[in-house]
């Protein structure tokens, strides 16, 4: 295996890693995973950082009225301060 092969292989590995990481973070932030997977393919190493910097989708998250931490909209109690949402 020549040095070019090693370079190519590490390139492929980093692209695959960035796609997997971008999809994983996008799922976590409730962002479209397929779009971020594509972004990870087109912009390796950049896309995972970008999606990581993005705030969670406000369609699914809101601030806890008590501690101001993010909580899922369908959650009945805050995962941070464990207080129940007041209607």
Mark the segment that binds Zn ion (CB under 5 A) among 1-9, 22-30, 33-41, 75-83. Answer: 75-83
Structural tokens at position 23 = 């999809």
Distance (Å, whole) CA 47 – CA 42: 8
The residue range among 4-12, 19-27, 54-62, 66-74 that interacts with Zn ion, by the rule CB under 5 A, is 66-74
Q: List the x/- string, 5-44, binding to Zn ion by CB under 5 A.
A: ----------------------------------------
Q: Going by C-beta distance under 8 Å and a sequence separation of 6 or more, which residues neighbour residue 75?
A: 85
Q: CA 61 from chain center: how many Å? A: 14
At 69, phi and psi to the nearest 5? -85, 160
CB of 58 to Zn ion, least distance (A): 17
Rounded least distance, CB 68 to Zn ion, Å? 7
């Amino acid at each position: 295996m020549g040095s070019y092969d090693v370079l190519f292989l590490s390139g492929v590995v980093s692209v695959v890693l960035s796609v997997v990481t971008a999809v994983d973070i996008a799922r976590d932030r409730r962002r479209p995973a397929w779009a971020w997977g594509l972004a990870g393919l087109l912009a390796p190493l950049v896309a995972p950082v970008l999606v990581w910097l993005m705030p969670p989708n406000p369609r699914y998250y809101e601030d806890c009225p008590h501690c101001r931490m993010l909580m899922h909209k369908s959650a009945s109690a805050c995962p941070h301060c464990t207080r129940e949402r007041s209607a």
